[in-house]
């Protein structure tokens, strides 16, 4: 018990608040796989547009579904989907950015041009292409958004690798005869994480929002399943009549993203204070 | 991170009730047919058609919210329903549909049909003027009809007019049209717009017609503005000086604009939007004359089995969909015929019932070899919110009968290509719209017809339809059409749901709005109340 | 000269690549232009005629080459979907030229808001020694950055439009009819665009200033007897603005390329909205040019920022 | 003139300056000598009122001519300090590049001092005018402006007659404008004067330059001009020559002495370099760990140091005596360099990206023998590092031949912070060369256990204890890091190690330890070193042979003793001065 208290004392406030916020969201999300107060898709004609109350903490939607239950389910889906999007795009970004940044030259030029092109390419069009090649399905939203977000990571990783490729310790690793891949991923990569982490935070935010747009095109979360972004866009039509319908998923997104930002800010400060 | 923004967008595109956007031809309604019923959602106001107590005033400007952009200002080339509803105010044909669905004379003052049904003779009305001030001549009529029917250059622009074989000027006031085969329903095609001779190719900078309003300006994505035609042949019309048909990007935006009172009139409200606006606007409602259904692909499993199709029809709780999606204002239907086409419509709702018959559905599924239920995907065009909501309601409700629907939203053009044209689907919720001819709805379910995207195949149905088409009296036609409907319902070719209502919000300062049984916004009778 | 040539070659290569990708995408995605234009009820003859008219009967390579040739000659083609009048389709250049001012105006207003609010805020924040204010700003900006732009648009509409009635939601007035009315309306979408950017810029500027404050030249300035205020505005701000300029440049590129969400929520007929509706109607000529435009804007703005940076930072320009 | 009484300063932790008391007399040059962390800079900054806000003065007082500037327990009176800073006391910093605002023209930065203090002291301009050596410049400026003024007045008079109503305000405006112009010209003249005074002959060009356009020495002269332009009573110079090359260092020292002589102001000279202090100062304070450990007249301290620490400091200074004679080195070449030219591509014009191939190293011919330490000495920018990188194959733009007779030469860099991967532990870092070797040449692959043993062994060899094995570089001091760097370079037993300024970033005592370490490891392992340094004394201490380089050319190679006794090249002689 004392140990736990001591651990808490050591952390900075940003870290703790961020941890609490994300922790709560994640717990609700995980819980939704086993239990929700009401069925997230159970409709009830008698309870349409109920304002928040003890019965329905966040109120009910146009089908009389319990918004809190749907938000819980939405957190689950949204967090998983956006995490995977971030993992894919960040992973691809690291791979491409590292290679182009470190080696430079023609390959770098070519890949940067493709990156620019993808960057300017409307993601709706890209998503339509992905569906028509791979068919619709939840995994494809992850895939197409993974592609969409890759260029931003490529840029960051690339510039960091350009910065570090001539660093003294990299020079020395080269002299030791360390293999190139090992230099890239064992020697340099761990050094870019503080910068990289910031963009992961931003990317996570964007992924949550982008996912909601995609279900419209037939990829991603399909009704009646809930995702936060989709709930938010569904709710826009009922803004005057049932503002809680939009506020619940909207504020939940803000909650998660803010929690995540604070968490990473906390981690960053912790790292900084170590040095 | 620009990317996010682009994706989100998609959510906000046009949502309209009613299905195939381009799916109307300009033929209009039989003379005997319907009286569109007008109901009232809010209960605050009488029907919108006539408000005899209020005194009409002249003048004023009105902003009408429309959902879709104009596809063409050429009345013969325009195919989108959203365009035609606007062009109705600018162009007129020899004949014109009125709010009862009857044909009235417009550019023509009179017409007659030969006994064999092959020759139509039109007498032109005196002093009908184009917006450019010139009188309409027989030349103009000949040119317009030839252009629309393809006699001019071999490219027919309006498919129902392809039956014409010649258009002849008898004298300055008389035009004679001959056709290759007799068909009672052809007369509706003469609502095709009359435009000045030669204008289709040469003039062109302004759409010029004879309607109550004349064209002022058009900006893509923003809208179209028309102004009063002072020379309109109908005395005393129109009332308004100017109408701005403003394109509103989506139902949600429309709601905001209504709340901000930046538009005066908007159709296609969803039920909950209507309720939300009830205090600020007159809310009027009438059937939309679209047939919403869960279309079942008869050619693929599990719907190649008639018992499975019937099971779906039994399991489906249409009342619930009606209640949830349109607030109970829809008309439940079971066959592919509009209730407003009273002569041809037969109420077959008793066959499967309007509520859910879970037991019967389960039993039929078991008989069909699916004792554990079935699972299939339902493709829904994502831009039509009502269909998406219907799908959600039905999917939830039919689970009880062991029927699992996986909803799959697709973009509209994908739906057109994959479902409507490609028949690559198991089930789909959408609606088909109609003109006022019964054949338009019924013809498509013949075996091998190119619009038969559900692959319905019944020799009995085909025979009944053929007889109906050939019939020379309305009574006879009605008899065979009804027979065809019964066959279709018995075979459960598809699970029809309802004719959803069309609900409009009208500024409290306005009156005189008329619902039409076709998809038009007639602004000529709308006026500001004192 | 070589730098400029290299940048131009890069630009052209990227534009080419983007146009090919967009063209390929249109080959792959479902949805037939002709059906999209004519609907489902058109006569087969008309469909055929239209297909021919649009050149869709030719093999893809021929179509691309023809299209690219026209673009190189400055002919951007005509929209498939929008007509200018009864018998002429809308030239793409004209269509985009008509929408562009809306997006540019939005960009300008947003940038003004960002510059006017974020820079003083960032400076004030950097100079403030009040711990509570620091925490408040930190949380405030983090929150502002966490609000989805879509949600923010909805909130702004709800608050200013429905509750306070400061503007009529959706009551966009064309800049041609009433420029100031248009500006008045556009302030609200601009607020939605600006809020998260203001938060980012203020944070960025503040961090940049704090970093610069630790520099040796700041100590030198103090050693001359300069006041804290003078050091902050005269020495630190100028140096701290350098990286912020790059950051602002990125924001400009982003907004000028079309703030799709905001344009949609506030029904502004701008570039972003046009792009979305053109994709959904399969209006290939419009989409192609719009994508090229976005690419062009992004690359050129980045380039200009680079040049600007070199001009304002004497360390680079006079090497 | 300055009296510091019992001063203690603490940042959030323990005190870094402890009970320091001293005085500076009028016109005196007081040296404060100590290693990094000894508190000498904090003392100076506290005196100047420039120490960071987070520092607390825990005891003591500071007086300037009997005026109390600072007292423990009272908040710093910034307004009071601002009247002293720049006007009565000023400071010259160590890093002339970063100490000047990079985005402001040099002239404006010097002028700022005038701007800030003119308001407070209107007498200042007249004062300086009388002293102005570049009088004609001043005169012409003055006469010009006077002429303009006369003209303007004449014009104003003419108008006065015509439009009496507007005349007054207009005239006032004109006069005000005139005054502004004149003041501005006056200031510029004084700045130019000051720049000339510190030996910047091309004053006008310097005035219009940005700091990066000047050389290090010129920048430091600008800093000095800025410090002395108002003739303050006290100048604090914190390591003003450390970042400069030896020859420039000498010039700056001469300049400081000249200014002290001319202006008769006091100078507080802070340095880690005992030799410099000895050359310049009248009196010296030695500081260690925040305390003054010794104080006295310069010659007394050097001839008769009392404290142990002072003795240690003096002995650690690399001199040109007391060198250990090395064992015989072989003359078998380990590396042969023939007719080597090394190029570097440089962007001549950044906007238009013209690249120019510049020849950095020209016609280098030399050998490194087995087991010897070859010293390479030269000033910054002479091509030392470029040459070493070329020898390691890190720079491929060369012509000529480099023949290696041993495998995988290694390198030790100057900056101990950047040459160790900050994300790894010491153990990992020491093992990494062995792992890499094992991958390249499976015959040399080692087991994990052997590697760990070898790493510990090397850790001991470089003089560190076991507990450092699991630390990360950020947890080590500079000297410790440099030890790890050396260990990492030597663990695979390479034939040659190139050490590029390995001790320049370190304090004198640490420097001596590292030099000892290199010598002893070299003896033990028989590894040849190419030892690069700008400091001829360091080179003398460590090398068997030395090589002198200037502007990319090798001027002289020879046995160390031989070169020192009998330098051939003029430049070598200058270095040895």
CATH code of residue D383: 3.40.50.300
Closest Cβ–Cβ partner in D394, D408, D422 for A171: D394
Contact check, Cβ <8 Å, D354/C1: yes
Closest Cβ–Cβ partner in C219, C226, C310 for D350: C310
Contact check, Cβ <8 Å, A113/C287: no
Domain count, chain D: 3
A144/chain C closest Cα distance in angstroms? 13
Q: Is D418 on the interface with A (CB under 8 A)?
A: yes
Contacts A–B by Cβ distance under 8 A: 120
- Please determine, for residue A92, whether its predicted confidence score (pLDDT) is greater than 90: yes
Cα→Cα distances D387→B209, C33, D394, D402, Å: 87, 66, 10, 11
CB of A249 within 8 A of CB of A232? yes
Token pair of B341 as six digits? 């086409």
**Could you write out the three-class secondary structure of chain C?**
CHHHHHHHHHHHHHHHHHHHHHHHHHHHCCCCHHHHHHCCCCCHHHHHHHHHHCCCCCCHHHHHHHHHHHHHCCCCCEEEEEEEECCEEEEHHHHHHHHHHHHHHHHHHHHHHHHHHHHHHHHHHHHCCCHHHHHHHHHHHHHHHHCCHHHHHHHHHHHHHHHCCCCCCCCCCCCCCCHHHHHHHHHHHHHHHHHHHHHHHHHHHHHHHHHHHCCHHHHHHHHCCCCHHHHHHHHHHHHHHHHHHHHHHHHHHHHHCCCHHHHHHCCCCCHHHHHHHHHHCCCHHHHHHHHHHHHHHHHHHHHHHHHHHHHHCHHHHCC
> Among 3.40.50.300, 3.90.76.10, 3.40.50.150, 3.10.20.30, what is the CATH number of B1-23+91-205?
3.90.76.10
For residue D142, what are the domain limits?
114-197
Contact check, Cβ <8 Å, C310/D351: yes
Mean pLDDT, chain C, whole residue set: 83
D98/chain C closest Cα distance in angstroms? 5
Is ipTM over 0.85?
no
Q: Is D353 on the interface with C (CB under 8 A)?
A: yes
Contacts A–D by Cβ distance under 8 A: 62
Neighbours of chain D (3+ CB pairs under 8 A): A, C
Residues D226, D80, single domain; the answer is: yes
**D145 in a structural domain:** yes
Residues D158, D260, single domain; the answer is: no
Q: What is the pLDDT of residues D421-472, one digit of tens each?
A: 888 899 999 999 988 888 888 888 888 888 999 999 999 988 888 888 988 8
Closest Cβ–Cβ partner in D48, D83, D98 for C223: D48
Strands of B510-511's sheet, edge to edge? B56-57, B527-529, B510-511
A263: nearest CA in chain C?
C142
Provide the b/e sequence for D61-73 (b: ≥16 CB within 10 Å): bbbbeeeebbbbe
Return the closest-CA partner of residue C168 out of B264, A235, B240, B220.
B264
- Cα separation, A121 vs A149, in Å, equals 11
- Cα separation, C37 vs C21, in Å, equals 23
Contact check, Cβ <8 Å, C6/D83: no
Q: Is D9 helix (H, G, I), strand (E, B) or coil?
A: strand
pLDDT of residue D209: 87
Contact check, Cβ <8 Å, B259/C282: no
Q: Is C139 on the interface with D (CB under 8 A)?
A: no
B217/chain C closest Cα distance in angstroms? 9
Domain count, chain A: 1
Q: What does the DSSP 8-state code read for residue D471?
A: -
**Could you write out the three-class secondary structure of D366-398?**
EEEECCCEEEEECCCCCCHHHHHHHHCCCCCCE
Return the closest-CA partner of residue B89 out of B70, B117, B110.
B70
Contact check, Cβ <8 Å, C29/A129: yes
**Counting every residue, how long is chain A?**
275
List D residues 392-411 in contact with A (Cβ-Cβ < 8 A).
392, 394, 408-411
Q: Is C128 on the interface with B (CB under 8 A)?
A: no
How do B374-381 and B427-433 pair as beta strands? parallel
Q: What is the pLDDT of residues B234-284, one digit of tens each?
A: 887 888 888 888 888 666 777 777 877 888 888 878 777 787 788 888 888
Contact check, Cβ <8 Å, B20/C168: no
Among positive and negative, which fits the CA dihedral A208, A210, A215, A216? positive
- Cα separation, B102 vs B35, in Å, equals 9
Continuous H helices in A216-242:
228-235
Q: Which residues of chain C have pLDDT under 70?
A: 1-2, 85-87, 170-171, 258, 316-319
Neighbours of chain B (3+ CB pairs under 8 A): A, C
- What CATH class does B290-499 carry? alpha beta
Q: Is C132 on the interface with A (CB under 8 A)?
A: no
Strands of B495-499's sheet, edge to edge? B331-332, B495-499, B290-296, B427-433, B374-381, B403-410
CATH code of residue A182: 1.10.3720.10
Q: Is D281 on the interface with A (CB under 8 A)?
A: no
Closest Cβ–Cβ partner in A116, A236, A254 for C154: A236
Q: Is B404 on the interface with A (CB under 8 A)?
A: no
Residues D192, D309, single domain; the answer is: no
For residue A152, what are the domain limits?
12-32+64-274
Residues of chain D with Cβ-Cβ distance to C307 below 8 Å are: 351
Return the closest-CA partner of residue B432 out of B494, B474, B352, B485.
B494
Closest Cβ–Cβ partner in A117, A208, A254 for C14: A117
Q: Which residues of chain D have pLDDT under 50?
A: 120-143, 350-352
**A1 in a structural domain:** no
Contacts of B76 (CB under 8 A, 6+ apart): B144, B147, B148, B157, B158, B192, B193, B195, B200
- Cα separation, D311 vs D295, in Å, equals 13
Contacts of B472 (CB under 8 A, 6+ apart): B117, B182, B184
Q: What does the DSSP 8-state code read for residue B417?
A: I
Can you give the pLDDT of all 530 residues of chain B as single tens digits? Answer: 333 333 333 333 222 222 222 333 333 333 333 333 333 333 333 344 444 456 788 888 888 888 777 777 788 777 777 788 888 888 888 888 887 777 788 888 888 888 777 888 888 888 888 888 888 888 888 888 888 887 777 777 777 777 788 888 888 888 888 888 777 777 888 888 888 877 766 545 578 888 889 888 888 777 888 888 888 888 878 888 888 888 886 667 777 778 778 888 888 787 777 877 888 888 888 888 888 989 988 888 888 888 888 888 898 888 888 888 888 888 888 888 888 777 788 888 888 888 888 888 888 888 888 888 888 989 998 878 888 889 988 888 888 888 898 888 888 888 888 888 888 889 999 888 777 778 888 888 888 888 888 888 888 888 888 888 777 777 888 888 888 888 888 888 888 998 888 888 888 888 888 888 777 888 888 888 87
Residues of chain B with Cβ-Cβ distance to C182 below 8 Å are: none
Chain B contact probe: residue of C44, C84, C87 with most B CBs at under 10 A: C87
Return the closest-CA partner of residue D412 out of D335, D469, D473, D496.
D496
C160/chain B closest Cα distance in angstroms? 11
Residues D365, D308, single domain; the answer is: no
Q: What is the pLDDT of residues B382-417, one digit of tens each?
A: 878 888 889 988 888 888 888 898 888 888 888 888
Residues of chain B with Cβ-Cβ distance to A216 below 8 Å are: 10-11, 382, 409, 411
pLDDT of residue A90: 92
Residues D85, D228, single domain; the answer is: yes
| DSSP states of A143-207 | HHHHHHHHHHHHHHHHHHHHHHTTSHHHHHHHHHT--HHHIIIIIIGGGGHHHHHHHHHHHHHHH
Q: What is the pLDDT of residues A61-72, one digit of tens each?
A: 888 888 999 999
The H or E element that residue A211 is part of is helix A193-215
Neighbours of chain C (3+ CB pairs under 8 A): A, B, D
List C residues 234-263 in contact with D (Cβ-Cβ < 8 A).
235, 238-239, 242
**A47 in a structural domain:** no
Homologous superfamily assigned to B54-82+211-287+502-530: Periplasmic binding protein-like II (3.40.190.10)
Continuous H helices in B260-356:
271-277, 306-315, 318-326, 349-352
CB of A170 within 8 A of CB of A187? yes
CB of D575 within 8 A of CB of D536? yes
List D residues 222-261 in contact with C (Cβ-Cβ < 8 A).
223, 226
Round the CA-based radius of gyration of chain A to a whole number and report it.
22
Contact check, Cβ <8 Å, A168/D436: no
Chain C contact probe: residue of D64, D103, D349 with most C CBs at under 10 A: D103
| Chain A positions with Cβ closer than 8 Å to C | 14, 109, 113-114, 116-122, 124-126, 128-129, 132-133, 205, 208-209, 229, 232-233, 236, 239-240, 243, 246, 250, 253-254, 257-258, 261-262, 265
pLDDT of residue D322: 57
How do B242-247 and B61-66 pair as beta strands? parallel
- Cα separation, D85 vs D44, in Å, equals 13
CB of D145 within 8 A of CB of D185? yes
Contacts of B518 (CB under 8 A, 6+ apart): B24, B28, B29, B97, B101, B289, B435, B436
The yes-or-no reply on D/B contact (3 CB pairs or more, < 8 Å) is no
CB of B411 within 8 A of CB of C36? no
Closest Cβ–Cβ partner in B203, B221, B263 for C277: B221
- Cα separation, B140 vs B122, in Å, equals 13
The H or E element that residue B139 is part of is helix B138-149
Chain C contact probe: residue of D50, D102, D120 with most C CBs at under 10 A: D102
- Cα separation, C136 vs C139, in Å, equals 5
Contact check, Cβ <8 Å, A275/D418: no
Contact check, Cβ <8 Å, A222/B9: no
Domains of chain C: residue spans and CATH: 20-75 (no CATH), 100-317 (1.10.3720.10)
Contact check, Cβ <8 Å, A117/C299: no
C215/chain D closest Cα distance in angstroms? 7
**D458 in a structural domain:** no
**Could you write out the three-class secondary structure of D98-165?**
CCCCCCCCHHHHHHHHHHHHHCCCCCHHHHHHHHCCCHHHHHHHHHHHHHHHHHHHHHHHHHHHHCHH
Cα→Cα distances B415→B127, B511, C30, C35, D53, Å: 47, 38, 9, 11, 68
**Which phi and psi (to 5°) does residue C267 adopt?**
40, 60
**pTM of the predicted model, to two decimals?**
0.78
Residues of chain B with Cβ-Cβ distance to A123 below 8 Å are: 3-4, 6-7
How do D528-533 and D496-500 pair as beta strands? parallel
pLDDT of residue B461: 87
- Cα separation, D152 vs D175, in Å, equals 8
Residues of chain D with Cβ-Cβ distance to A197 below 8 Å are: none
Domain ranges of chain B: 1-23+91-205, 54-82+211-287+502-530, 290-499
């Amino acid at each position: 018990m004392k140990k736990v208290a001591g651990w808490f004392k050591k952390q900075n406030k940003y870290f703790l608040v961020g941890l609490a916020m994300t922790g709560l969201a994640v717990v609700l999300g995980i819980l939704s796989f086993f239990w929700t107060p009401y069925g997230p898709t159970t409709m009830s004609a008698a309870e349409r547009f109920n304002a928040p109350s003890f019965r329905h903490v966040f109120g009910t939607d146009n089908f009389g579904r319990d918004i809190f239950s749907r938000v819980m389910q939405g957190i689950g889906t949204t967090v998983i989907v956006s995490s995977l999007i971030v993992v894919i795009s960040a992973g691809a970004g690291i791979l491409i950015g590292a290679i182009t940044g470190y080696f430079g030259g023609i390959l770098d030029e070519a890949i940067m041009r493709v990156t620019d092109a993808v960057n300017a390419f409307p993601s709706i069009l890209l998503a339509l292409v992905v569906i028509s090649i791979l068919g619709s399905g939840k995994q494809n939203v992850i895939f197409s958004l993974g592609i969409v977000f890759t260029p931003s990571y490529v840029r960051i990783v690339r510039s960091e690798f350009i910065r570090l490729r001539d660093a003294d310790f990299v020079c020395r690793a080269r002299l030791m005869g360390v293999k190139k891949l090992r230099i890239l991923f064992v020697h340099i990569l761990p050094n870019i994480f503080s910068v990289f982490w910031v963009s992961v935070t931003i990317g996570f935010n964007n992924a949550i929002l982008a996912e909601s747009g995609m279900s419209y095109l037939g990829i991603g979360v399909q009704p009646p399943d809930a995702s936060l972004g989709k709930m938010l866009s569904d709710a826009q039509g009922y803004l005057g009549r049932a503002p809680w319908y939009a506020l619940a998923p909207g504020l939940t997104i803000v909650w998660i993203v803010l929690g995540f930002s604070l968490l990473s800010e906390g981690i960053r400060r912790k790292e900084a204070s170590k040095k | 991170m620009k990317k996010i923004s682009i994706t989100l967008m998609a959510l906000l595109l046009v949502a309209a009730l009613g299905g195939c956007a381009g799916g109307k031809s300009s033929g209009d309604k039989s003379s005997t047919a319907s009286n569109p019923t007008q109901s009232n959602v809010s209960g605050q106001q009488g029907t919108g058609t006539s408000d005899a107590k209020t005194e009409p005033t002249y003048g004023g400007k009105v902003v009408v919210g429309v959902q879709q952009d104009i596809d063409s200002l050429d009345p013969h080339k325009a195919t989108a329903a959203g365009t035609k509803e606007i062009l109705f105010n600018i162009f007129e044909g020899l004949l014109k549909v009125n709010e009862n669905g009857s044909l009235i004379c417009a550019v023509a003052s009179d017409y007659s049909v030969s006994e064999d049904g092959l020759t139509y003779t039109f007498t032109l009305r005196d002093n009908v003027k184009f917006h450019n001030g010139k009188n309409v001549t027989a030349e103009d009529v000949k040119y317009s009809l030839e252009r629309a029917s393809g006699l001019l250059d071999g490219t027919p622009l309006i498919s129902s007019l392809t039956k014409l074989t010649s258009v002849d000027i008898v004298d300055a006031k008389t035009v004679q049209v001959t056709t290759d085969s007799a068909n009672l329903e052809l007369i509706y095609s003469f609502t095709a717009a009359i435009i000045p001779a030669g204008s289709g190719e040469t003039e062109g900078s302004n759409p010029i017609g004879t309607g109550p309003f004349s064209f002022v300006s058009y900006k893509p994505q923003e809208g179209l503005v028309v102004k009063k035609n002072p020379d309109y042949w109908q005395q005393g019309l129109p009332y308004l000086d100017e109408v701005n048909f403003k394109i509103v990007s989506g139902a949600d935006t429309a709601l905001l604009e209504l709340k901000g009172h930046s538009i005066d009139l908007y159709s296609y409200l969803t039920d909950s939007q209507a309720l939300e606006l009830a205090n600020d606007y007159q809310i009027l409602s009438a059937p939309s004359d679209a047939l919403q259904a869960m279309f079942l692909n008869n050619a693929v499993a599990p719907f190649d089995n008639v018992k499975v199709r019937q099971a779906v029809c039994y399991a489906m709780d249409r009342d619930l969909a009606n209640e949830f999606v349109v607030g109970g204002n829809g008309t439940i239907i079971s066959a592919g015929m509009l209730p407003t086409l009273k002569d041809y419509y037969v109420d077959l709702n008793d066959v499967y019932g309007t509520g859910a018959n879970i037991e019967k559905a389960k039993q039929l599924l078991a008989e069909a070899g699916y004792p554990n239920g079935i699972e299939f995907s339902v493709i829904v065009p994502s831009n039509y919110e009502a269909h998406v909501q219907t799908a959600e309601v039905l999917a939830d409700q039919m689970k009880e009968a062991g029927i699992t629907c996986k909803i799959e939203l697709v973009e509209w053009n994908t739906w057109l290509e994959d479902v409507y044209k490609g028949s690559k689907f198991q089930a789909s919720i959408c609606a088909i719209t109609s003109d006022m001819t019964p054949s338009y709805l019924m013809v498509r379910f013949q075996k091998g017809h190119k619009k038969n995207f559900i692959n319905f195949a019944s020799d009995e149905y085909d025979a009944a339809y053929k007889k109906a088409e050939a019939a020379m009296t309305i009574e006879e036609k009605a008899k065979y059409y009804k027979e065809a409907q019964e066959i279709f319902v018995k075979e459960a070719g598809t699970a029809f749901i309802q004719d959803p209502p069309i609900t409009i919000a009208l500024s409290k300062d306005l009156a005189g709005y008329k619902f039409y049984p076709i998809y038009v916004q007639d602004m000529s009778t709308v006026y500001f109340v004192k | 000269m070589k730098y400029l040539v290299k940048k131009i070659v890069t630009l052209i290569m990227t534009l080419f690549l983007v146009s090919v990708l967009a063209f390929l995408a249109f080959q792959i995605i479902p949805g037939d232009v002709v059906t999209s234009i004519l609907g489902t009820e058109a006569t087969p003859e008309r469909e055929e005629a239209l297909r021919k008219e649009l050149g869709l009967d030719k093999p893809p390579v021929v179509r691309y080459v023809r299209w690219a040739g026209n673009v190189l000659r400055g002919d951007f083609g005509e929209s498939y979907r929008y007509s200018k009048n009864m018998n002429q389709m809308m030239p793409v250049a004209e269509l985009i030229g008509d929408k562009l001012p809306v997006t540019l105006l939005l960009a300008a207003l947003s940038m003004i808001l960002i510059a006017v609010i974020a820079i003083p805020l960032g400076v004030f924040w950097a100079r403030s020694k009040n711990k509570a204010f620091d925490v408040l700003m930190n949380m405030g900006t983090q929150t502002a950055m966490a609000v989805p732009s879509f949600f923010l648009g909805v909130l702004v509409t709800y608050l200013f439009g429905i509750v306070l009635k400061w503007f009529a939601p959706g009551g966009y007035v064309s800049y041609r009819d009433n420029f100031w009315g248009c500006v008045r309306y556009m302030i609200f979408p601009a607020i939605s665009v600006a809020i998260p950017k203001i938060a980012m810029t203020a944070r960025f500027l503040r961090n940049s200033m704090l970093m610069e404050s630790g520099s040796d030249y700041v100590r030198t300035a103090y050693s001359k007897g300069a006041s804290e205020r003078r050091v902050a505005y005269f020495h630190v701000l100028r140096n701290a603005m350098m990286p912020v300029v790059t950051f602002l440049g990125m924001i400009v590129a982003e907004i000028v390329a079309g703030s799709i969400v905001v344009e949609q929520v506030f029904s502004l007929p701008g570039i972003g909205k046009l792009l979305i509706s053109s994709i959904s109607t399969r209006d290939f000529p419009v989409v192609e040019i719009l994508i090229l435009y976005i690419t062009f804007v992004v690359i050129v703005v980045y380039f200009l920022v680079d040049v600007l940076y070199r001009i304002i930072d004497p360390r680079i320009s006079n090497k | 003139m300055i009296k510091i009484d019992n001063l203690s300063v603490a940042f959030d932790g323990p005190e870094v300056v402890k009970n320091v008391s001293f005085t500076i007399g009028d016109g005196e040059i007081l040296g404060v000598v100590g290693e990094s962390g000894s508190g000498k800079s904090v003392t100076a900054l506290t005196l100047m009122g420039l120490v960071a806000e987070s520092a607390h003065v825990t005891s003591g007082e500071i007086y300037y001519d009997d005026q109390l500037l600072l007292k423990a327990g009272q908040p710093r009176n910034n307004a009071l300090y601002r009247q002293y800073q720049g006007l009565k006391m000023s400071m010259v910093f160590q890093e002339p590049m970063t100490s000047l605002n990079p985005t402001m023209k040099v002239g404006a930065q010097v002028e700022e001092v005038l701007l800030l203090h003119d308001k407070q002291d209107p007498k200042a301009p007249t004062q300086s005018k009388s002293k102005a050596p570049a009088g004609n410049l001043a005169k012409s400026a003055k006469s010009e402006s006077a002429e303009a003024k006369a003209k303007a007045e004449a014009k104003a008079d003419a108008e006065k007659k015509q439009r009496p109503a507007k005349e007054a305000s207009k005239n006032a405006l004109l006069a005000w404008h005139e005054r502004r112009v004149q003041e501005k010209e006056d200031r510029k003249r004084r700045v130019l004067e000051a720049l000339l005074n510190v030996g910047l002959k091309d004053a006008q060009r310097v005035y219009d330059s940005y700091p990066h356009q000047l050389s290090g020495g010129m920048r430091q002269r600008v800093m000095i001009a800025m410090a002395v332009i108002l003739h303050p009573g006290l100048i604090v110079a914190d390591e003003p020559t450390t970042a400069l090359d030896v020859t420039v260092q000498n010039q700056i020292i001469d300049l400081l002495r000249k200014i002290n002589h001319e202006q008769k102001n006091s100078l507080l000279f802070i340095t880690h370099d005992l030799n410099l202090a000895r050359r310049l100062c009248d009196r010296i304070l030695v500081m260690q760990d925040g305390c003054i450990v010794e104080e006295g007249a310069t010659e007394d301290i050097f001839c008769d140091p009392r404290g142990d620490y002072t003795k240690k400091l003096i002995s650690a200074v690399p001199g040109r005596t007391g060198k250990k004679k090395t064992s015989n080195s072989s003359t078998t070449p380990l590396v042969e360099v023939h007719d080597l030219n090394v190029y570097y591509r440089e962007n001549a014009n950044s906007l238009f990206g013209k690249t120019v191939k510049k020849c950095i190293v020209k016609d280098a011919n030399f050998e490194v023998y087995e087991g010897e330490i070859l010293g390479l000495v030269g000033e910054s920018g002479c091509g030392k590092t470029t040459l070493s990188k070329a020898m390691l194959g890190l720079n491929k733009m060369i012509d000529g031949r480099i023949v290696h007779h041993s495998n995988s030469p290694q390198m030790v860099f100057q900056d101990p912070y950047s040459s160790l991967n900050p994300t790894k532990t010491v153990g990992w870092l020491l093992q990494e060369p062995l792992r890499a070797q094992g991958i390249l040449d499976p015959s040399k692959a080692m087991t994990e256990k052997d590697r760990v043993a070898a790493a510990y062994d090397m850790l001991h060899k470089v003089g560190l204890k076991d507990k450092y094995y699991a630390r990360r570089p950020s947890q080590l001091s500079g000297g410790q890091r440099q030890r790890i760097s050396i260990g990492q370079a030597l663990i695979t037993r390479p034939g040659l190690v190139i050490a590029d300024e390995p001790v320049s970033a370190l304090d004198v005592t640490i420097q001596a330890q590292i030099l000892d370490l290199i010598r002893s490891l070299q003896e033990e392992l028989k590894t040849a070193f190419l030892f690069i340094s700008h400091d001829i004394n360091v080179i003398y201490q460590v090398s068997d042979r030395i090589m002198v380089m200037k502007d990319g050319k090798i001027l002289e190679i020879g046995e160390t003793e031989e070169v020192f006794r009998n330098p051939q090249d003029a430049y070598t002689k200058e270095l040895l001065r």
